[in-house]
């Protein structure tokens, strides 16, 4: 371990402290720097593919270094990721990854996982209490149906206009109405 408290990050070359460290192939990375070199998706031990000093998600690694040609997914019956360069179309380059440049590198000064704000209470959501759903980060205690207050999971929620609902309340308030959609005389009624 070099003088200064920790190993250097494989991406930004800054010191990596234990609380924010991810190790891969004998190197250390910040959690926020452990991203695919192409698509910038977050990686973990099951999704990372290493090529030299570069890390990729398995999908981008396969596209860049995998086999090419007939019989390897390039035929007429497969989806193509062709950007059109052969036709003179210039693809848009993704923005480069820029790690944090906070001069105070202590683990208490750095917000774990960035500065996500809970849409329900408006307070900062830290990594230890973070639940992701409906395109936002929520506190575990705030991750409840906006109508009935029922606790939700990522598989039991429906979102609309930045708010999250249980599937029952979403169907009742925003689903189709009329004959044949559970609102008639033969349907069970749920009153609040």
Residues 15-38: pLDDT tens digits?
888 888 888 888 888 888 988 888
pTM of the predicted protein model:
0.36
Classify burial at 102, counting beta carbons within 10 Å of its beta carbon; exposed 0-12, middle 13-18, buried 19 or more: exposed
Q: Kindly report, as residue ranges, where domains of CATH 2.10.110.10 are found in the chain.
A: 1-66, 130-174
- Assign a CATH topology to domain 130-174: 2.10.110
Percent of the chain with pLDDT over 90: 0
How high is the pLDDT of residue 10?
A: 85
CATH 2.10.110.10 at 1-66, yes or no: yes
Query: For residue 118, is pLDDT > 70?
Result: yes
Q: What is the pLDDT of residues 54-101, one digit of tens each?
A: 888 888 888 887 776 555 554 455 555 555 565 455 666 665 655 545
């Amino acid at each position: 371990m070099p003088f200064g408290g920790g190993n250097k990050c494989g991406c930004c070359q800054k010191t990596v402290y234990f609380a924010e460290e991810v190790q891969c192939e004998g190197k250390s990375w910040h959690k926020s720097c452990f991203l695919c070199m192409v698509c910038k998706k977050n990686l973990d031990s099951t999704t990372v593919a290493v090529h030299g000093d570069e890390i990729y998600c398995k999908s981008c690694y396969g596209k860049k270094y995998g086999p090419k040609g007939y019989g390897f997914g390039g035929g007429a019956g497969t989806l193509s990721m062709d950007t059109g360069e052969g036709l003179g179309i210039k693809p848009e380059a993704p923005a480069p990854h820029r790690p944090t440049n906070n001069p105070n590198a202590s683990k208490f000064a750095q917000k774990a996982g960035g500065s996500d704000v809970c849409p329900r209470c408006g307070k900062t959501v830290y990594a230890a209490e973070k639940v992701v759903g409906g395109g936002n980060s929520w506190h575990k205690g705030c991750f409840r149906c906006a109508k009935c207050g029922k606790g939700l999971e990522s598989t039991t929620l429906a979102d609309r206009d930045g708010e999250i609902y249980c599937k029952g309340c979403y169907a009742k308030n925003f689903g189709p109405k009329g004959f044949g959609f559970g609102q008639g005389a033969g349907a069970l009624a749920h009153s609040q």
